[in-house]
Amino acid sequence: MLIKVLGSAAGGGLPQINCNCRNCADARAGVPGLAPRTQSSVAVSGDGKSWVLLNASPDLRQQIAATPQLAPDPALGLRSSPIRAVVLTNGDLDHIAGLVSLREGLSLNLYASREVHAALDANGIFNALDRTLVPRVVLAGEEPIELRQGDVGLGLTLEAFPVPGKVALYLEDPAAGPAFGTRAGDTLGLKITDRTNGGAFYFIPGCAAVDDRLAARLRGAELVLFDGTLYTDDEMIAQELSAKTGKRMGHISMSGPEGSMAAFDKLDVRRRIFTHINNSNPALREGSPERRAVEAAGWEVACDGMEIGL
* 129 is a site residue for Zn ion (CB under 5 A): no
* Number of residues written out for the chain: 310
Kindly state the number of chain residues that form the binding site for Zn ion, as judged by CB under 5 A: 5
Q: Cβ distance 73 to 81 under 8 Å?
A: no
* 70 is a site residue for Zn ion (CB under 5 A): no
Instruction: Choose which of 1, 3, 5, 19 interacts with Zn ion (CB under 5 A).
Output: 19
Interface region with Zn ion, contact rule CB under 5 A, candidates 15-23, 41-49, 100-108, 127-135: 15-23
Interface region with Zn ion, contact rule CB under 5 A, candidates 178-186, 190-198, 276-284, 290-298: 276-284
122 or 238: whose CB is closer to Zn ion?
238
Handedness of CA 267, 273, 276, 282 (dihedral sign): positive
19 or 263: whose CB is closer to Zn ion?
19
What's the min distance (Å) between Cβ of 187 and Zn ion?
A: 24
193 or 279: whose CB is closer to Zn ion?
279
What's the min distance (Å) between Cβ of 3 and Zn ion?
A: 27
* 39 is a site residue for Zn ion (CB under 5 A): no
Residues 6+ apart with CB under 8 A from 41: 6, 7, 53, 54, 55, 56, 57, 59, 60, 63, 95, 98
What's the min distance (Å) between Cβ of 95 and Zn ion?
A: 20
φ, ψ dihedrals at 69, nearest 5°: -65, -20
* 279 is a site residue for Zn ion (CB under 5 A): yes
108 or 284: whose CB is closer to Zn ion?
284
Let me know how many helices (H) and strands (E) the chain has, helices first: 9, 14
* 277 is a site residue for Zn ion (CB under 5 A): no
Residue 120 to residue 6: CA distance in whole angstroms: 23
58 or 189: whose CB is closer to Zn ion?
58
19 or 158: whose CB is closer to Zn ion?
19
Restricted to residues 131-170, the positions that interact with Zn ion (CB under 5 A) are none
Residues 6+ apart with CB under 8 A from 196: 46, 155
157 or 279: whose CB is closer to Zn ion?
279
Residue 95 to residue 88: CA distance in whole angstroms: 7
Q: Cβ distance 51 to 83 under 8 Å?
A: yes
The 10 Å Cβ neighbour count of residue 214 is: 20
Interface region with Zn ion, contact rule CB under 5 A, candidates 131-139, 201-209, 260-268, 273-281: 273-281
* 24 is a site residue for Zn ion (CB under 5 A): yes
Interface region with Zn ion, contact rule CB under 5 A, candidates 16-24, 137-145, 194-202, 292-300: 16-24
What's the min distance (Å) between Cβ of 49 and Zn ion?
A: 38
Residues 6+ apart with CB under 8 A from 210: 218, 252, 260, 263, 264
Per-residue HEC secondary structure of 105-139 comes to CCCCEEEECHHHHHHHHCCHHHHHCCCCCCCEEEC
Instruction: Choose which of 21, 108, 207, 254 interacts with Zn ion (CB under 5 A).
Output: 21
Burial 182-193 (b: 16+ CB within 10 A, else e): beebbbbbbbbb
80 or 288: whose CB is closer to Zn ion?
288
Q: Where on the chain is the footprint of Zn ion (CB under 5 A)?
A: 16, 19, 21, 24, 279
